Amino acid sequence: MKIVRKAVQPPSEQNPPRVPPWKILVVDDEEDVRRLTTLNLRGFEFAGRGLDLIEASSAAEARDRLREHGDIAAALIDVVMETDDAGLKLVEYIRNEMHNRMIRLIIRTGQPGVAPERYVIDNFDIDDYKDKTELTVQRLYTTLRTALKGYRDLQTIELNRLGLARILDVTPELYDLHRERLEEYFRGVLMQIIGICNLEHSGMIFTIDGLVMTMEGKDVRIRAGTGEFWDGENGKTRREDIVELCTHAFLSQDIPHGLRQGAMIVPLKVRDEVLGFIYLESQSELTASDQELIQVMANQCASALDNFRLHHSLEDAYDEAIDMLGHVAEFKDSATGSHIRRIQEYTRRIARALGSTEAEADTYAKASRLHDVGKVGIPDDLLRKPGKLTADEFTLMKRHTLIGDAVLSRSPSLAVARTVAKSHHEHWDGSGYPNGLAGTDIPYAARLVAVADVFDALVSRRPYKEPWHAEKAVEQIAAGIGSHFDPHVAEVFLKLYRDGELEDLIAAATENEDGNLDINGSGEPGHHV
């Protein structure tokens, strides 16, 4: 499906496009010359645009007019004015100080001997040289038309360059996959497309309204919008009409009737699948270059959207894998269900308090759910033993960290969970297991989970103990600072506790939804304390 443009409303119902005139600077110290130029160019049009003649009686005045009007297309410049070379110095000012390479400069002189043609052409960046005596009405028409055609073509090249640079600049943002709401993503895309059409110096686009829609089956869902058909009751009616048009375009693969003048439907298409549409309405005609840039941007948007969907599909699969493995551990050890859910939330809150981003904290929190997944390899009678473990039993129990490491090693996406499963029983002073790591050699995520895991185990009922009061458990965490726990992590945890940020989790550890004592916990007797 290609870009679709079609004007179907009667002219009387349309607002005529507001096309600005070409701005022409006439620089001459003779008023009669300026007046004659105005008369000779009366009724002049090029590419459907008339002229706006801006007069200056000196090079100094011309500088002021140039600073006031940044979109002058061409200048007719006399050479001899306040000085014999005032016009030539004006040319140097425009090219070298203003760095304006777009404006077309036409030298016209009544004293060719003062500024010989070959010398001026060889030494100054001009586009034409005319003796005033030869600049008849027809010659003036031809000269100016050629100058405007050159300006338009250079402008098109420059706008394409700026547009492509803009696309390259914003493409990394399009592929930012860590966005919680697709609406924010599409609003950004729409703003970038409108920005491309409103690039500086275009002088063509006054207002662009737009909608971005995605396809879900055969249904169209509006994701973002701007302009008059986005707000108010009338906007609601217009949106409904546009959705119907775009749905028709999708189903029939044909040009829909009913588009306003200056309207475009741009499909967001990847391979043979249409993911959605960008609908645009402009108060003036969008050029072929505008349309090409919009299509390039739309192609980037479609590819990014496809990656966005794939990324979130993989995230969903990752979450499902974690839940599945968590349930495996829960079935194996009846004391893990609520515990792992609380550990997840403890870990998230600690990470955020330590300065992690939402995304980072979420990664650590999800990984914490699998901290005891290795217990699938520990005998049931050992997991549920009500009394203290013997030395041999404790040695066997410690193997759950290595079993968890082995289970999760098969998936690179579970790398953080793997380090947590293996290292959450390492101690800051090196006295932990399985590898006796110390200090910052212990993975950061494992240091977070270590505090959360021990605290929740202490305040929870276990087969081998009654739940501890929260204050007593807090004292135990404080006592382990610098030996068992990372001091910074533990201090942040204690602050969260003092600020009342953990009360809901502590309450959940002692009561289930029915108000009964919750027997869920880590099921790991003795060695937490």
pLDDT score recorded for residue 279: 77
Rounded Cα–Cα distance for residues 77 and 27 (Å): 5
pLDDT score recorded for residue 240: 77
Query: E strands of 112-204, at which residues?
Result: 128-131
Residue 191: both structure tokens together: 């703003």
Within the chain, all domains assigned CATH 1.10.3210.10 are found at: 333-510
Q: Which of 23, 366, 375, 398 is catalytic?
A: 375
Asked if CATH classification 3.30.450.40 holds for the domain at 180-304, the reply, yes or no, is yes
Instruction: Enumerate residues 6+ apart whose C-beta is below 8 A from 435.
Output: 423, 426
Rounded Cα–Cα distance for residues 173 and 194 (Å): 16
Residue 375 annotated to the active site: yes
Q: Which CATH class is domain 333-510?
A: mainly alpha
Show pLDDT as tens, one digit a residue, over the chain (529 residues): 444 444 334 333 444 445 689 999 999 999 999 999 999 999 999 988 899 999 999 999 999 999 999 889 999 999 999 999 999 999 999 999 999 999 999 998 888 777 788 888 888 989 899 888 777 888 899 999 999 999 988 877 776 676 566 656 656 665 555 555 556 666 666 766 666 665 443 433 345 677 777 766 666 667 677 666 666 555 677 777 777 777 776 666 666 666 666 677 777 777 777 777 777 777 666 667 777 777 777 787 777 777 777 776 777 777 777 777 777 766 666 555 677 788 999 999 999 999 999 989 999 998 998 888 898 888 888 887 877 889 999 999 999 999 999 988 888 878 999 999 999 999 999 999 999 999 999 999 999 999 999 999 899 877 667 889 999 999 999 999 999 999 999 999 999 999 999 999 998 887 643 333 332 333 333 444 3
Within the chain, all domains assigned CATH 3.30.450.40 are found at: 180-304
Q: At what angle do helices 337-353 and 358-368 cross, to 10 degrees?
A: 150
Query: Model's pTM, two decimal places?
Result: 0.50
Q: Which amino acid is at 435?
A: N
Task: Find the largest Cα–Cα distance for the chain.
Answer: 115
Rounded Cα–Cα distance for residues 104 and 25 (Å): 10
Tell me the residue length of the chain: 529
Using alpha carbons only, give the angle 24, 26, 29 rounded to the nearest 5 degrees: 170
Peptide bond into 434 cis (omega under 30): yes
pLDDT score recorded for residue 274: 75
Please count the CA atoms within 13 angstroms of the CA of 130 that sit on its side-chain side. 23
Residue labelled with tokens 């000269």: 143
The matching CATH number, chosen from 1.10.150.110, 3.90.1150.110, 1.25.10.10, 3.40.50.2300, for 20-135 is 3.40.50.2300
- Coil/strand/helix, residue 22: strand
